[in-house]
Structure 1
Amino acid sequence: MVRRIRLVLLAAIVAVFASLVAGPASAAGPTSLDRIHDRLLRHDPGAPLLIAAHRGQWRDAPENSLAAIRHAIADGAEIVEIDVRPTRDGHLVLMHDETVNRTTNGTGKVSELTLAQVKSLRLKKGLGGAQAPLTSHTVPTFEEAMLAVKDRAMVNLDKGWPVREQMYEVLRRTGTVDHGLFKGSPTVAEAAAFMAKDPAILYMHIINDATAGVVGTFPGRQPVAYEVVFDDAADPQVQPATLAKIREDSRIWINTMWKNLAIDHTDEASLRDERLGWRTVVQRYGASMIQTDNVEALGYWRDGGDLDRYGKLPGNRSIRVQAEDFAPGGEGVGYHDLDPNRCTVARLDEGVDICDLEGAIAVNWIRAGEWLKYTVTVEKAGVYDVSARVSSPYSPAGTITLDWGHTESGPFSIGNTTHHEAFEVQPLERRHLGKGDHEFVVRMNENAYQNFNLDYLQFDRVGR
């Protein structure tokens, strides 16, 4: 027994010594980047779906900011899409537009500003816009972005093909060549020549109606992926033979942020019904990489989640009332609308502006003095948090009250979401609701500016 104890102690001492020599266990094992890189290079039918965050997680931080990159990775994106542009004095910074006007408190073209001038600016919330609030975040350099992502995720390098050589030098200097996914639509010869300079370079070729024929014509090493852009199921780049040829050597990247990138198969359409978006681009068009503005929702679906339950509390504790499901009866009974229809995709014989915003069916063109009547059916009595999924680029976006018949609650302010298509759930009130039907009216206050879009109202039971 004593000898056995001594042997166990000796083995433990040897193990501790070995760990000290080798360093932390994480240093010896594969990094997150290693796993993502291995998956990227797979293009077989069982290759796992990879998620790319469009401009980072701009729902939590300004687009193309370091915080947006970190949030995207934390929310499950394996790839973060960023936009790279050169300054007047030759530095690379992250900026989608040619100018800094939309996303910062400055003005002017990036190419006409020095790095110091760009760095002095502050980024605006989310997708920016004229009335978006300022944040404390600043514009990152490309090098700062790569250091932030190192060993954690890959980066899709948008807008950067003209400065690919300079980007490559930054990647080489930071030890992140295998983190960058270069992309563009140059000639095959130009793209092949760039790939040939370093076997670690990863390249994705963009194809559309006019360039579908380049698939399979690359000499030697093939692109790691093709970004397939299409607005019609009859387009040559999404015909079965072309897609099959891509899959022989490469992955298929499809964008679902807005329409005409993949017909109408958008993120917002997916949230209504997976068959309208993500399921179709995966099953019909073979997408093995999806770029999205809804990272968490796509990850939830990819992992087997039911999108009908996404954003709801577990255990049937949430009720959703769609904005277009206002009461019947017409003008003055089920609703009051002050202007002629600007768009109508539902309830065509009535006067409410029901629009399709990149796949979200919502009430739009809301104006002061209008109202909508609804009924919420409560199966279990309790305390409910009432919220609204809304969007608007304005500050203030609107002010509403909820009229419950005998009581009225509010006013509630609708916050700026930084874009008409940037929907977010905003809290309104907490109230007790008994079992049964409850009729209520959403009133747009007459003495307040109103310009927002309403997707749905949600009731989350949080107590008895």
Structure 2
Amino acid sequence: MPIRVRSALVLTIATLTAAVLAAGPLPVAADAAGRDGALAGIDRIRTELHRHGPGADLLVAAHRGQWRDAPENSLAAIEAAVEDGAEVVEIDVRLTSDGVPVLMHDTSVNRTTDGSGAVSSLTLEQVRRLHLKEGLGGAAARVTEHPVPTLAEAMEVVRGRALVNLDKGWPFREEILQVLQQTGTVDHGLFKGSPDVAQAEAFMARDPEIEYMHVVDDGTWAQALQFSGRQPVAVEVIFDRATDAQAQPEYLSQLAGRGRVWINTMWESLAAGHTDETSLRRDPDLGWETVVQRYRASMIQTDNVEALVHWRDRGDIRFWDRQRGPRTVRVQAEEPRAGGEGVAYHDTDDNRCASVSPEQDRLDVCTLRGARSLGWIRGGEWVEYDVEVVVPGRYAVSARVSSPYDPAGTMVMTWDGEPGATLSVPNTTDHNALRRVAVEERWFDRGAHRLRIEMPSTEYQNFNIDYVQLDWLTRR
């Protein structure tokens, strides 16, 4: 395996902090000598970026920043991504009508701000009056106090600390390059695109500090092997099937011999079903381990920065969440107790996710970018689970849920026939934006317990449940 999963070094605000974690899923070379361990921040990251042979570290890229903690493409999201250990922060760049590069994924500001209109039709002054919405935005997302950043502001945040992947920016590369030159951060930027090779080579020739990543998919995969002089520092490989030409071992081996191999694991079509969520549920066939070992990834872009960094640094993925531990009990929402309709659960209509769970007649067991979850929840439905507690004590009960709506719905829990808490499911800004939410603390004796979750018919219900979790707190 050509890429090394890091064993100790984790990026913090400006330095690297040693962290010895539990043994993990991939073997790591024990000798850290020669890994530029004395370097810090951007110096270490840039040095590592240009290493792509055996022993090179896996680099983590945060998709749109750490949008789970702050609005996507905000300065706070960039800051959080760096603090959480990402070496690269992916940002999206658009031009205002007066030619200023700003951070915005969509061509319009509608989804992620309290404004409307195309970015290209708004001046910088107009864009700066807008406020970003929480998380991934959307109609029901809360408006925050965060403004839309300029690219120059973003580069000041990452200066000396991380690289930025300049997505959407190839058509504006001249304006972007000018900002990077003015801020002294040309060597912090990672330009990307899929132009013809001659155009990409000409742009790289402009400045030896320019870093370029070529994007290949079904239509452009052959281009990456046509660079005759200076090679792209990385190639972003996109494949929706394992049989795609760009996903074949010989081709990937050639890419890995020239530079870094970047693979995206945010959703299924980017890497043939290998996603963050399949990695979190430890699917033996789909996930980060296979992406590294079979597809030669040496850079992974993720929506789950903390989890990937934890796994990359040899942590046990079962316990990536800081609140989890060996005494944690997890109840998967797609696994009700035996009995079927009317006994173990009640679903008001036929299975709407039959392509995912054909074994289910009525229960909607769906996939959210690889996470197996209970979806299409409606009022009047309920489901029951058998829960086995090994260690008696007081536990914190939480639920991992998602919804783009507000209100999203209500979960009424009972334990062994006794009333539990009622959870008002929050707006997480997207069906795929699963978030663990605290429910209550309660005592559990050792042994079997029965959990019942009801969705009252008197309230609007439209959310997803990934799991309910019990985290042991104390014996008292």
Q: Same fold (TM over 0.5)?
A: yes
- How do 1:182-331 and structure 2 match up within 5 A? 182-273=191-282, 275=284, 276-311=286-321, 313=323, 315-331=325-341
2: CA distance, partners of 1:163 / 1:89: 13
In structure 1, the residue matched to 2:412 is 401
Q: Post-superposition shift, 1:400?
A: 1.5
CA distance in 2, matches of 1:435, 1:181: 54
Residue by residue over 1:47-84, the C-alpha shift from the partner in whole angstroms, topping out at 9 and shown as x without a partner, is 11000000000000000000000000000000000000
Q: Deviations over 1:166-186 (max 9, x none)?
A: 111110111100000000000
For the pair 1:169 / 2:169, whether they are aligned, the reply is: no
Is the 8 Å Cα contact of residues 350 and 361 (structure 2) preserved in structure 1?
A: no
Structure 1 distance, partners of 2:311, 2:234, is: 23
How many Å separate the matches in 1 of 2:66 and 2:324? Answer: 25
Question: Structure 2 CA distance, aligned partners of 1:416 and 1:82?
Answer: 24
Equivalent residue letter for 1:456: Y
Alpha-carbon distance in 1 for matches of 2:410, 2:209:
54
Once residues 349 and 176 of structure 1 are traced to their aligned partners in structure 2, the CA distance between those partners, rounded to angstroms, is 54
SS at match of 1:260: helix
Q: For 1:411 and 1:300, locate their aligned partners in 2 and report how far apart those are by CA, in whole Å.
A: 32
How big is each residue's C-alpha offset from its partner over 1:376-407, in whole Å with a ceiling of 9 and x where there is no partner?
Answer: 11111111111100011011111111122442
* Aligned counterpart in structure 1 of residue 462 of structure 2, from 421, 445, 451: 451
Give SS of 1:397's match.
coil
What displacement does 1:39 show?
Answer: 0.1
Partner residue, 2:370? 359
Instruction: Give the letter for the 2:401 counterpart.
Output: V
1:142 aligns with 2:165: no
Assess, with a 3 A threshold, how the Cα gap between structure 1 residues 349 and 176 changes in structure 2: closer, same or farther.
Answer: closer
- The correspondence for 2:129, drawn from 116, 120, 126, is 120
Is structure 2 residue 197 aligned with structure 1 residue 155? no
2:78 is the counterpart of 1:57: no
Q: Which amino acid aligns with 2:290?
A: T
Report which stretch shifted further, 221-230 or 270-279.
Answer: 270-279
The Cα shift of 1:312 comes to 6.5
**Alignment correspondent of 1:107:** 116
- Out of 45, 55, 58, the residue aligned to residue 46 of structure 1 is 55
**Which one-letter code corresponds to 1:163 in the other structure?**
F
Question: Which position in structure 2 is the counterpart of 1:76?
Answer: 85
CA distance in 1: counterparts of 2:462 and 2:156, whole angstroms = 41
The CA distance in 2 between the partners of 1:456 and 1:347, in whole Å, is 20
What is the CA distance between 1:362 and its match in structure 2? 0.3
Q: CA deviation at 1:317?
A: 1.9
Greater alpha carbon shift after TM alignment, 249-258 vs 270-279: 270-279
Identity %: 58
2:425 equivalent to 1:414: yes
The residue matched to 1:136 in structure 2 has which SS? strand
CA contact (8 A) 1:215 1:242 kept: no
Contact 1:215 1:245 in 2 (8 A): no
AA aligned opposite 1:384:
Y
8 Å Cα contact 1:312/1:460 also seen in 2:
no
Moved more, 66-75 or 206-215: 206-215
- Cα displacement (A) at 1:440: 1.9
Contact 1:324 1:346 in 2 (8 A): no
**Deviation string, structure 1 residues 397-429 (Cα, Å, up to 9, x no partner):** 111111224421232211011100110100111
**Structure 1: distance between partners of 2:220 and 2:68:** 34
Offset of 1:239 from its aligned partner? 1.6
1:49 partner letter: L
Q: Which structure's relative contact order is higher, taking Cα pairs within 8 Å and 6+ residues apart? A: 2
Matched AA of 1:394: Y
Determine the structure 1 residue equivalent to 2:7: none
Q: Which consecutive unaligned segments of at least 5 residues does structure 2 have? A: 1-14, 17-37
Paired with 2:262 and 2:224, the residues of 1 have a C-alpha distance of 14
Give 1:380's aligned residue. Answer: 391
Say if 1:92 and 1:315 are closer, same or farther in 2 by CA, change over 3 A: closer
Change (3 A) 1:281 1:315: closer
User: How far apart are 1:310 and its partner, in Å?
Assistant: 2.6
Conservation of the 8 A alpha-carbon contact between 2:99 and 2:175 = no
Q: CA deviation at 1:347?
A: 6.8
Residue aligning to 2:21: none
List alignment gaps of at least 5 residues for structure 1: 1-24
TM-score norm. by structure 1 comes to 0.92
Match of 2:445 among 412, 434, 449: 434
What is the aligned partner in structure 2 of residue 18 from structure 1? none
Matched, 1:333 2:343: yes
Of the structure 1 ranges 395-404 and 52-61, higher mean CA displacement relative to structure 2 is found in 395-404
AA aligned to 2:160 is: D
For residues 97 and 428 of structure 1, what CA distance do their matches in structure 2 show? 35
1:337-394 CA distance string (max 9 Å, x none): 1122111334714311000111000000001111001111111111111110001101
236-245 or 99-108: which moved more?
236-245
* Closer, same or farther: CA 392–349 of 1 in aligned 2, 3 Å: closer
Aligned residue for 1:67? 76
Number of aligned pairs? 438
Rounded Cα–Cα distance in structure 2 between residues aligned with 1:313 and 1:72: 19
When Rg is computed on C-alpha atoms for both structures, the one with the higher figure is 1
Once the 2 structures are TM-superposed, how far is the Cα of residue 206 of structure 1 from its aligned partner? 0.3
Deviates more, 1:44-53 or 1:232-241: 232-241
Equivalent position SS for 1:408: strand
For the residue of structure 2 that corresponds to 1:44, the secondary structure is coil
Q: 1:289 and 1:56 mapped to 2: Cα distance? A: 15
SS at the partner of 1:317? coil
